[in-house]
Chains A and B, each alone.
Chain A
Amino acid sequence: MARGRRRKFHVSKLYSFACVRPKFEEDHSQLGGPGFSRVVSANDPEDAINLSYGSNYVSTTKYTLATFIPKSLFEQFRRVANIYFLISGCLSFTPLAPYTAWSAVFPLIVVIGATMAKEAVEDWRRSQQDTEVNNRKVKVHQGDGNFDYTEWKKLRVGNIVKVDKDEFFPADLILLSSSYENAICYVETMNLDGETNLKLKQSLEATSIFQSDSSFKDFKAIIRCEDPNASLYSFVGSMEHDDKQYPLSPQQLLLRDSKLRNTDYVYGAVIFTGHDTKVMQNATSPPSKRSKIERKMDKIIYLLLSALVLISAVGSIFFGIATHDDLEDGKMKRWYLRPDQSKIYFDPNRAPAAAVLHFLTAMILYGYFIPISLYVSIEIVKVLQAIFINQDIQMYHEESDKPAHARTSNLNEELGQVDTILSDKTGTLTCNSMEFIKCSIAGTAYGHGVTEVERAMTRTKGTPLINELDDEDHEENHVDAKSAIKGFNFEDRRIMNQNWVNEPHADAIQKFFRLLAICHTCIPEADKDSGKISYEAESPDEAAFVIAARELGFEFYQRTQTSISLHELDPMSGRTVERSYRLLNILEFSSSRKRMSVIVQDEEGKLLLLSKGADSVMFERLAKNGREFEEKTKEHLNEYADAGLRTLVLAYRELDEEEYMTFNKKFMAAKNLVSADRDEKIEEAADMIERDLILLGATAVEDKLQVGVPECIDKLAQAGIKIWVLTGDKMETAINIGFSCSLLRQGMNQIIITLETPEIIGLVKSGNKDAIAKASKDSVIHQIREGRKLISSSSAESFALIIDGKSLTYALEDGVKDMFLQLAIGCASVICCRSSPIQKALVTRLVKTGTRKVTLAIGDGANDVGMLQEADIGVGISGAEGMQAVMSSDVAIAQFRFLERLLLVHGHWCYRRISSMICYFFYKNITFGLTLFLFEAYASFSGQPAYNDWFMSFYNVFFTSLPVIALGVFDQDVSARFCLKFPMLYQEGVQNVLFSWTRLLSWMFNGILNAIAILFFCTSAFQHQAFRKGGEVVGFEVLGATMYTCVVWVVNCQMALSVSYFTLIQHIFIWGGVALWYLFLLVYGAIIPTISTTAFMVFVEALAPAPSYWIVTLFVVLATLIPYFAFAAIQMRFFPMYHNMVQWIRLEGRADDPEYCQVVRQRSVRPTTVGVSARLDKVSQLITRKVHHAVHSL
């Protein structure tokens, strides 16, 4: 069922044109019960019950002034690393501390402070918004018929408010009356669901007379309704007015944050305020997702923590032994330490205890292993990366004025690791603009238009030339396909321009288009100047039908509560006449019904049921005498599906009075039910009447592919990303779309799993449910087995898997799903058709958990929400289909084709940046932390740090932090152009080569080497001899400062070596970090010695004038970096990674040499790849083989 997929979630609708005023019936049993307990005395805000409900004050902030500190601190200390730092910070106030307490606590304060400041700023912004909203003014009834402006936040339940045109509703209101006579009003719900079309609301007749301020003077009513809930489209309630009860439905409910349009004013009674409103109830935070890299990072932190414990333990054992030996039989060994008069920390008599305490000291001291600023740096970097994504002008969509929007920044690097894309079809691959293109009426097919798919198919079937590779010819299709009228691309002389009158089945044609003009829920809007009529439709295909009817002479121009009026041609007189149909009932569309009907009475008083729906449900509802054209129509339907069109079957029947009365009674009863099974009852009633239909024909609507989709899919396929299409469409349509966007190609083996086999169909007729289920399951398992056999038997061929929704139900069952997954992984493309939203989510979960690879789901509609939230990354298309998908997505883009840039450029960069950044972070902290540990070996593991306290504190915060952030924000291995030119680069992320354990550990190993080198070189160069001409020897402070200088230089130069994109910013940060160190040394050294202790004047007096200091620094820095440099040179030359090779290509200027690039790119095309270029490769292979063959046979 094509046309209604978007409405699956909009069930039960705002449009119920209940034409006969329902009478209240006494089965509102649920009201007053649990879940339906709200009682509102309208116009009596001082009523005790009303007062018990909350005010209209809304707060969306995470924190309040009072809770900010404890709550945000709690958030912070949920991270293991931060807890560790907190504990060590606390311990540093005890004598255990190896250095002064403040220098230990300072970095923690900076880091936590920075994160908290970020939280505070975000929350402050939210609170600003809240204040703005809370202080908006609305007219409220003050008693005595006076309305006056009051702030939104002061609104109470029970207030009567007057809302003017283009104002927002301040709370959930019950519509009482409007400026219109019939008390209707138009509402725009863009903030709720993103739909820009207007919705019609209408109040109860009973209250529609209160049309002036003064009439509310004595107005009294009691409203009983459901409790606050999040369902936007349902509402159950009743109103007691003048001792009469009236049922309330969503039709009377005006939701907060929607807007009054085209109506001068409305009066409404407040029933839900503040956080009770439906929109606020909906405001739940989406599930928070963490990237794989971050999860791995946690593991590394644990690894480092255990390394920390290990070296602390080693140190403590040595310390314990040394301490124990200090006192032997009362004789002091190291007497200068006075072991005889020691506190517990150094007491030889209690050496084990001293060792245990020393362990704590060591844990604090070696804490530099754990990069304290890692989390905060990553957060900063990710926010900046997200800004870059948002700012990318090439992902900005001009027509819809929408730039890309990274809604969460914690998944940036995950974008560079996507293995499987699960894509919705409609609105995602296609642009969800429907064009009426063909129809079949009374067994005759009309319409000559050529569809995109047909075009693509001819292109594929013909012999493509190699130069087609450059994708220009795809573009023109989108240009020339512009039709004069949006939504209408129909071309057939036989029935256009009123020629239909002469056709053999003219009456069927008339009924056909009349049905299209009547059976819908559109609202006409006449342009004041031109008189031309446009339509506000709920879905584009619905609009396409009405437009088609208009173009063929059945112009729907007016809708009232009870009627639909058309301008139509009278075949007898040949003149255009106005016809009005009395609208009796609308049997709404739902995903389970897959059809919609209206019941109207024409001017002659004939009762007509007009129905349109999916072929699967419609054919079985036909009357015996209504099947005249069944065969022909079915044939046409298959043709249309082949052409990638969405089809609907149209049918009607005439009702007699009596039958209608019975139906209406039952239907109204069901409608007025205020209970959970209401929808079922309504369906039951509708089912009763929608039978014995007479077939008219079928429509075919083309769902156009979005611009650039085939090219984008091609690029993604070249990048080695697998693409699965999950669609609600029927199999034929899905396969055809697959062809047109190159997911399928000729010569691909299609493995089709379906339950449309004769045996199953036979069983279905017999109706034994258990037997059906069992047979179906067996059949699916059998088909999956066959498929797997097929795949394992040949390795050179590529396969496509197509599975329908029913089979999917069984394939996703527990015992079967792994088998299914194995089959699916073996296939180059997978298409799941007829899948429901829940199945989409389940498939996503299956892929995610089954392959343990990163999955990305992309979709635009409400039915994709589950899939988007389930996938590792959810990408929402902010297109025409409302905002639900965007609201639950992680990244929002305007067009599918932007996915290419999002993944291949931004994803790749972010992945690379974050992984390099983390590797480097660990490297720099290990380098630093390990020098501390190694120095302990010279200080009998007593826990004396080699450096001055504040040197250590500032290491992570000032001297080395900014270059890493710059790396994380700006680094690029290759430019965007090359990322796109060589999509295979993306595999670096998918295979995670830049953040593999090997790479991580080798960075750590590099850190260990560097630390050893620095310590060894420094201590050997500065042994005990004088280090300057004046004969002064190297003291504790000189060695510490020198080593520290070396560390700062080494880690910053290492950074300079690993950066591949050296902008001015990098230069400033890297060399600035080093310069800052010298500056700090100067300033800090000038402070009085009680504060600066060992750093006092150390640079000015001791280090700077000593040539040996500079010579040692130079030597240590270069000698330490040479191994890495040599390694990098060798790797670059002999074991290049893909990005290295692209860098070579750029350097050699061969990027514009097409042949050469082809050679490099060719490597990425595997036999299983899909996409345009793969298709062409296949063809050219075939040609060469044929040529080869021909040569041989000669």
Chain B
Amino acid sequence: MMNNSGASAAGSSSGSGEGQAPRRNSKRPKYSRFTQQELPACKPILTPRWVISVFTLVGIIFVPIGLVSLMASRDVVEIVDRYDSACVPPNMTDDKVAYAQNAAIDKTCTRILKVPKDMDQPIYVYYQLDNFYQNHRRYVKSRNDEQLMSAKKANDSSGCDPEATTGNGTIVPCGLIAWSLFNDTYSFIHGNKNITVNKHNISWKSDRDHKFGKDVYPKNFQNGALIGGAKLDPKKSLSEQEDLIVWMRTAALPTFRKLYGRIEVDLKANDTITVTLKNNYNTYSFNGKKKLVLSTTSWLGGKNDFLGIAYLTVGGLCFFLATAFTVVYLVKPRKLGDPSYLSWNRNPQGH
């Protein structure tokens, strides 16, 4: 209550004692537009004009963007071929898991693809997996970034369980992600010529340069009790193992594509391409689909009409709203600020 009496006393005594002296320490607040809360300000109100112009403007921006995006998406030529069930020999369709897990069976499979439209190089080759949770917490965390980056940390495998060590020592690269590396392979024949698939620079440059060390080599990889996916060439450093680098960038959604390589020849409409693939990767356990995708790109990326359609829809909706508001404002002009719309005037008793 009076805990600050000491200091305030010192202050007030000069004021009250010698009342006639000019008030040097008047308590009058200083005037400024800031302290008086009178700063210049824009006070936007949603007037009919504003509302209609905003909707119109959004419409005007959205529709062209939508059209351009849709065109870009339509320009992209995409061949998608699901091969996971087709590549299982007829006698094993009942037990696909056993087929996949049996190393003795030759997994080679041949697919014929037809080019629907002209495809200009570069044509990107993807594999697409379905129902594969690369974003599972256990999976995402099962890696060791420091080990991947520098040879000094080769023995650091924390967080990699249960793929951290084998009897011979630390696994490099350790963890479930690396262990489950995708191991189907594809080769393409166009007419009777082999098409080379360029597998260079299919990963992010920052990954090659900063996340996967040039002096880190695979060690003890895939020689545990249970073999997961692909094996790695122990003589190539991790920064050169681009398939691994691509795989290690985990996907956000359970359906995802990963870049396999680039075909650097043009394909003409109605060309047929023979794909010879090794159907090694086991997606049968978890009912995942496997697809091979060949796709060109536009400035916007791959084929997806969603963005274009969405832009057009919302743009159209904005035009509609603009018109609707115009009509309503014209048909039913309300006297602004009419207080009879106030809730407490409508029912004076109710509060």
Contact = CB atoms under 8 A, between A and B. Distances in A.
Interface in A385-426: 388, 390-394, 396, 398, 401-403
A206 interface: no
Given A346-B138, A1029-B299, A401 B23 contact: yes
A1090 interface: yes
Interface in B285-325: 285-286, 295, 297-304, 306-307, 310-311, 314, 317-318, 321, 325
Given A993-B343, A1028-B301, A1029-B298, A335 B285 contact: yes
Nearest to A887: B1
Interface in A1012-1050: 1017, 1019-1040
A1108 B301 contact: yes
Interface string B327-341: 001000010111111
B17 A166 contact: yes
B97 A331 contact: yes
Contact of B253 (A390, A1023, A1029, A1163): A1023
A84 interface: no
A1115 B310 CA distance: 8
Interface string A934-958: 0000111011101000000000000
A1061 interface: yes
Given A126-B3, A283-B2, A944-B137, A1027 B163 contact: no
A1065 B39 contact: yes
Nearest to B254: A938
Interface stretch (A510-518, A766-774, A1130-1138): A1130-1138
Contacts of A1097: 204, 206, 210
A1142 to B, nearest CB: 7
Interface stretch (B6-14, B81-89, B111-119, B186-194): B6-14
A814 B310 CA distance: 67
A1115 B37 contact: no
B34 to A, nearest CB: 9
A332 B285 contact: yes
Interface in A1090-1135: 1090, 1093, 1096-1097, 1101-1102, 1106-1108, 1111-1112, 1114-1115, 1118-1119, 1122, 1125-1126, 1128-1129, 1132-1135
A972 B44 CA distance: 11
A970 B314 contact: no
Contacts of B41: 972, 1061-1063, 1066
Contacts of B258: 1033
Given A1021-B310, A1035-B249, A1122-B314, A333 B286 contact: yes
B107 to A, nearest CB: 17
Contact of A938 (B37, B252, B257): B252
Interface string B1-37: 1111111111011011100000100111111000111
B144 to A, nearest CB: 10
B300 A403 contact: no
Interface string A327-346: 00001111111100111011
Contacts of A972: 37, 41
B241 interface: no
A1096 B338 CA distance: 57
A336 B299 CA distance: 35
A301 interface: no
B47 interface: yes
A991 interface: yes
Interface in B195-254: 202, 204-206, 210-211, 226, 228-229, 249-254
Contacts of B262: 1031
A1039 B139 CA distance: 18
A98 B137 contact: yes
A133 B299 contact: no
Given A284-B1, A1033-B126, A1039-B252, A939 B43 contact: no
B254 to A, nearest CB: 6
B71 to A, nearest CB: 13
A333 B285 contact: yes
Contact of B341 (A284, A286, A1135, A1148): A1135
A1150 B344 CA distance: 23
Interface string B142-155: 00011001000000
Given A1038-B252, A1111-B69, A1060 B43 contact: yes
A1119 B306 CA distance: 14
A1016 to B, nearest CB: 10
A1165 B10 CA distance: 50
Interface residues of A, number: 136
Contact of A1063 (B39, B51, B311, B336): B39
A520 interface: no
Interface stretch (A47-55, A190-198, A221-229, A525-533): A190-198
Interface stretch (B128-136, B165-173, B265-273): B128-136
A942 B257 CA distance: 21
B116 to A, nearest CB: 16
A401 B21 CA distance: 14
B276 interface: no
A486 interface: no
B149 A1090 contact: yes
Most chain B beta carbons < 10 A, residue from A392, A888, A1031, A1090:
A1031
A938 B43 contact: no
B109 interface: no
B277 interface: no
A93 to B, nearest CB: 15
A655 interface: no
B282 A335 contact: yes
Contacts of B43: 1060-1062, 1143, 1146
B137 A939 contact: yes
B124 interface: yes
B307 A1111 contact: yes
A1141 interface: yes
A391 B32 CA distance: 10
B176 interface: yes
A1107 B16 contact: no
A1129 B1 CA distance: 51
A23 interface: no
Nearest to A319: B137
Contacts of B67: none
Contacts of A539: none
A499 to B, nearest CB: 37
Contact of B339 (A1064, A1096, A1114, A1160): A1160
B42 interface: yes
B139 A336 contact: yes
Given A331-B285, A1111-B65, A1060 B180 contact: no
Contacts of A191: 2, 5, 8-9, 12
Contact of A1090 (B5, B139, B146, B307): B146
A286 B1 contact: yes
A393 B31 contact: yes
A1132 B310 contact: no
Contacts of B302: 1025-1027, 1031, 1033
B45 interface: yes
B304 A1032 contact: no
A391 B124 CA distance: 67
Contacts of A196: 16
B90 interface: no
A1159 B126 CA distance: 72
A140 to B, nearest CB: 18
Nearest to A1062: B42
17 contacts: A126-B3, A129-B4, A130-B6, A190-B12, A334-B285, A336-B176, A336-B179, A336-B180, A388-B35, A1023-B306, A1027-B302, A1033-B259, A1036-B250, A1114-B65, A1115-B314, A1136-B337, A1144-B45
The 7 closest A-B pairs by CB, nearest first: A1025-B302, A133-B6, A60-B3, A336-B180, A341-B162, A1031-B124, A1039-B252
Given A1028-B297, A1106-B301, A1126-B321, 13 more contacts: A341-B161, A942-B136, A970-B37, A1019-B253, A1023-B306, A1064-B39, A1066-B41, A1111-B307, A1128-B46, A1137-B342, A1138-B339, A1141-B338, A1163-B342
